[in-house]
Amino acid sequence: MKKWLLIALVLCLAAAPLSGCGKPANRYTYDFFDTFDTWVQITAIAQSEDAFRAFAADFHAKMRGLHALFDIYNEYDGLANAKTVNDSAGERPVQVDPLLIELVLRCKRFYEPGGESVNIALGPVLALWHDARAAALEDPASAAAPAQEALEALLPLCDIGDVLIDEEKGTIFLSKEGMRLDLGAAAKGFAVEAAIREADAAGIGPYLISAGGNVAAVGGPEGGWKIGVLDPAYAQGEGDFLAILRLSGLCAVTSGDYQRYFEAEGERYGHIVDPGTLQPARRFSAVTVVGPSSCDADLLSTALFVLPLEEGRALALSMGYEAIWVTKEGALEMTQGMAALME
Ligand code: AMP
Ligand code: MG
């Protein structure tokens, strides 16, 4: 049976439009690999190369700043970031940049409507899985999943209600020692959204950001940006596109278990953990969602990877988002409106 895997990938662009003043606008690209553990590519239709280079440099700098702010592994001189918040758990509230507060608030607000499937306070549990994955990659012969009792013992430290925000003071406080935020489910999507909002795009026409499974189409050339959704065989050098999407003013985000995982005793352990079982979510190979907000699409793609199909479908529809699921058996499911976005 064919097993599918999805990667949202920029295929190519529709023809570059002419600019208002009659000078042809050109298509430019710029990429970097130093943020969010992923390859980021910017493609834009711009009046001049200088305008594009300035925009791309600004966007890159914004992404670097956001990466540092949401980092739970590294400290940065003079910056109170997510690691500072984690290291101060049970001790003190930490004053942080408003963008970190905004990300945490967006995640907290999504928690209940999102079926409690995305929990940024699951950090202690996710850290055990992260360490098991790192050890397995280092020494595959001794790969092992964490013990279920060890995972369950951490549950009292994973209550999102214990993540306290004081908006007036601009602080985050993890109220119990040992608590730990993990922002991985939404950080990249939020960062793309924030960088789009804040980078200076003067002189830039429609542009497309592709950040490892997070794609944002800001405006669009005629007919939209063409985005290919790949099947798993492609990663091994063969296989077809599962779907081609035409996006204009929309974001597409994919969550899957094919990139970050480890194997132990013949079992594959993906990086998205079901908060109900504390085990990797095993319903799907991949889920791609499409909608207006990159942050919400990122939260939703993780949620839909965890939730049962019909619960996920109802959630996507309640938010006005479209989705494609690929089951472990290789079957495709999608929301009704998805077809209208496909070629
Ligand atoms: P994504 O690739 O956007 O689906 O996010 C996956 C990342 O989010 C993982 O690498 C973890 O850092 C984190 N994560 C995994 N499972 C969960 C969960 N149930 N709730 C919150 N964060 C999670
Ligand atoms: Mg996500």
8 CA → ligand 2 middle, Å = 13
Nearest to 117 by CA among 255, 262, 323: 255
pLDDT (0 to 100) of residue 5 = 29
Q: Which two three-digit tokens encode residue 260?
A: 């970050």
Q: What is the mean pLDDT of residues 181-187?
A: 98
* Cα 254 to ligand 2 centre (Å): 8
pLDDT band per the 50, 70, 90 thresholds, residue 18 = very low
Regarding pTM above 0.75, the answer is yes
Q: Which class for 169: exposed (0-12), middle (13-18), buried (19 or more C-beta within 10 A)?
A: exposed
- Could you tell me where the beta strands, DSSP code E, fall in 63-211? 94-95, 163-166, 171-174, 204-211
The atom number, within ligand 1, closest to the CA of 255 reads 4
Per residue in 210-246, pLDDT (tens digit) is: 998 899 999 998 899 999 887 765 655 656 788 899 9
- Whether 118 contacts 135, CB under 8 Å: no
Among 66, 9, 33, CA closest to 208: 9
129 vs 154: CA distance, rounded Å:
12
Residue 185 vs residues 111, 151, 295, 324: alpha-carbon distances, Å: 12, 19, 9, 18
Measured distance CA(295)–CA(187) in Å, rounded: 8
Average pLDDT for 37-56: 95
The mean pLDDT of 85-92, rounded to a whole number, is: 98
Model pLDDT, residue 8:
39
Q: For ligand 1, which residues put their CB under 6 angstroms from it?
A: 117-120, 122, 126, 182, 184-185, 255, 271-273, 275, 298, 301-302, 305-306
Q: Are 315 and 300 in contact (CB under 8 A)?
A: yes
For 63-81, write each residue's pLDDT tens digit.
999 999 999 999 999 999 9
Q: Residue 238's pLDDT is what?
A: 56
Residue 17: pLDDT above 70?
no
Q: Examine the pLDDT at 16 and tell me if it is beyond 70.
A: no
What's the token pair of residue 4?
A: 């599918």
pLDDT of residue 3: 28
For residues 36-46, give the mean pLDDT: 96
Q: What's the pLDDT at 9?
A: 44
Q: What is the pLDDT of residue 237?
A: 63
Amino acid at 55: F
CA 301 – ligand 2 centroid, Å: 5
- What pLDDT score does 7 carry? 37
Q: What is the mean pLDDT of the chain?
A: 91
Pocket test for ligand 1, best of 86, 116, 182 (most atoms within 8 A of CB): 182
Residue 2: pLDDT over 70: no
Tell me the C-alpha distance between 73 and 99, whole Å. Answer: 18
Q: How far apart are CA 181 and CA 2, in angstroms?
A: 37
Q: Is the predicted pLDDT of residue 333 greater than 60, yes or no?
A: yes
